Structure 1
């Protein structure tokens, strides 16, 4: 029988934090010099912060509990970790990081029994505590949650940017830091976490303990990272010396997409292992729910860069498994905070789906999705479906806004000879960086404007009616299933259904009886499609298919 641990848990105290005149429920994770590190309940951990202790009060109206043993994460009351999900990956040193954190007190001792046994016991101060028997693996995961509950670096110096970090990243200790940790004051130690050594990487808690000394040793701990090779340093002097000797000008690997100043590089985790490990450690500063940082052999990394006259600087990256039995086309994705909300994340998502399409698969991102990841993917799913339905419910291709008939045969032109084109796009002024040379409003190759399913080419009905003034009006209709739409847009059926439901289009149902079947059908009109497009601010795709460099 594998070794088990008996852990007593106690519900953490709930506080109210007044911030900008608004009350927020929060839990205290740690205290220092009249300051407390709080986690806001039901909010992402990237919002955790240090605040003055007087800004907190107990929910029951009591004063601050200065004697509370803070900074300890409560153990889960089941064999699975609370507040997150685990996904097994191949390889002994690959881990998926869970989300969420709770504070309280935890004590552990070796016991017997099967994982998941729970017994209620009465704890101190009249609080209800529970006793949990968990396996060695789940016990290590609880230690991992303790360690990752708080950021271990306040900021990271990356190129010309000083960026505030969002989450804990398990940067490993160096030999001198190990010695410092062993001689550290007790206030630098996280309760329940064993002393970390370089060689004791057999346990999850030991493996993820990198940077614990830096976590608590300074109020404003900063990490220094080279923006080219992602080598990490603990002081600015070492960083400046490295910058003068670093020979990297762009990521390793091959170019798989290039348009203007933007390039996507494909890097094999088995070939450029150190680069990918350092890249993953850096990305973990801004990714919470899952990440892979040591076992990179089974992964491909795609780095999006912006070129200057001499170097290609990273804007973001995503990773995917080389072989995914669930057909996942993306494992992790990260856009640097200074470059967010500029379309770079959408460009990488579109490219990941293009990889699936070229492989003849219907891809989807790996779960669980973070709040920002879900928001980005929902925008992609909605935009893809809306652009497709626009095309389906159009009588003419979008590149032909007018039809002129000369003699007998129609002539598809954008405007009569000698007349200005009423819908001709205006070309932007060229810039020296960013979306350089990319005519976003007119030159992007239409994405999904050609049907992937013959059904939409053969079963569309175009009905033209004569008007009283001699003109004619053409109406387009087609009957299809949700699976047909998902197949034509290369989306999973469940992803397409989720997107349609979120934008309100699944609510447009009517009862029918056409003699063949009786029930409800979904009716989507062009007016509804354009309404959703305006509400969701659907834009042209960021990716140009003609710029993909894959065979």
Structure 2
């Protein structure tokens, strides 16, 4: 009898421990769930992304990176049908997974990417009830205003091939902003700055000598030491507060290279970066008591007689 009671007690204790074990969450399950949340999204996939104006738009993920300061992944996205100048890095919180896409009615559901791409964007401009016909010039103007990019099918074969090659080389823009003088400016395109500089989200640029830096403290120190207060070269024109300087690429190679790298941040198809010696550069400046502040430039091939 005593033997039976001991056996029954052992059985009850075993069942109690088993029940507690089944109800208790394991650390491995939590760790796996947390690890899954931290996994980056797949490059090349399409998702709905919230733009800066809080509208949702289909976008392709071009690249990903891990932000050590924010301790989260960021994604470089290209918005379908829009110019590449609007590509940007966005945090994970602005991207909806494909299983939770938003329809136009605001409900959760799937979005057909082909239908979205082929939607009649011109009717958005005039309103759904408009019977007015769109002229070719109006369509071109609409595309320019809204940065609608031409498809490869709309280009001739040679242009399409060159565009594809160019896009592969320059498709990811790492530098989001620059600080030049008292202005912080959003950039538009990729520029081939040296690796340790070209991967920064922000560059600091001296507006007088165009030296570029990764850190604000380096920039502050440089500005306290830099004695230059106008472009290199010679002043060839002045009217009021506007002044133009002529800079020879042969005489001031580094300055002109830095100028071209700066310009590439705002020009999609600029190919001149380092071979600056054959060119003359004309720098437009606004002059005040602090110095001559660069506001624009153009270049042309120099003529040797």
Decide: shared fold, TM above 0.5. Answer: yes
Q: How does 1:63-462 map onto structure 2 within 5 Å?
A: 82=160, 85=162, 142=165, 145-173=167-195, 177=196, 211=198, 214-215=199-200, 221-322=201-302
| Structure 1 pair 225–21 and aligned structure 2 pair: CA distance change class (3 A) | closer
| 2:76 counterpart of 1:37 | yes
2:20 maps to which residue?
none
- C-alpha contact (below 8 Å) 2:47/2:95 kept by paired residues: no
- C-alpha contact (below 8 Å) 2:249/2:277 kept by paired residues: yes
- CA shift, 1:264, in A, is 1.3
- C-alpha contact (below 8 Å) 1:227/1:313 kept by paired residues: yes
| Structure 1 pair 21–246 and aligned structure 2 pair: CA distance change class (3 A) | closer
- C-alpha contact (below 8 Å) 1:256/1:266 kept by paired residues: yes
CA distance in 2, matches of 1:29, 1:261: 44
CA distance in 2, matches of 1:155, 1:297: 28
- CA shift, 1:156, in A, is 1.3
- C-alpha contact (below 8 Å) 1:170/1:281 kept by paired residues: yes
Q: Which moved more, 1:307-316 or 1:47-56?
A: 47-56
Secondary structure of residue in 2 paired with 1:302 = strand
1:430 maps to which residue?
none
State the TM-score, normalizing by the size of structure 2.
0.57
2:95 maps to which residue?
54
| Structure 1 pair 297–253 and aligned structure 2 pair: CA distance change class (3 A) | same
- CA shift, 1:46, in A, is 2.0
Query: What per-residue deviation string (whole Å, max 9, x for no partner) do you get for residues 26-71 of structure 1?
Result: 22212354643211233222211233353464799379xxxxxxxx
| Structure 1 pair 243–16 and aligned structure 2 pair: CA distance change class (3 A) | same
State the TM-score, normalizing by the size of structure 1.
0.33
How many pairs does the alignment contain? 203
| Structure 1 pair 317–56 and aligned structure 2 pair: CA distance change class (3 A) | farther
- C-alpha contact (below 8 Å) 1:17/1:56 kept by paired residues: no
Secondary structure of residue in 2 paired with 1:283 = helix
Secondary structure of residue in 2 paired with 1:288 = coil
- CA shift, 1:284, in A, is 1.3
CA distance in 1, matches of 2:58, 2:111: 14
Quick check: which one's helix share is greater?
A: 2
CA distance in 2, matches of 1:314, 1:229: 10
- CA shift, 1:291, in A, is 3.6
- CA shift, 1:294, in A, is 0.3
Give the gaps of 5 or more residues in structure 2: 1-43, 66-71, 104-108, 113-151
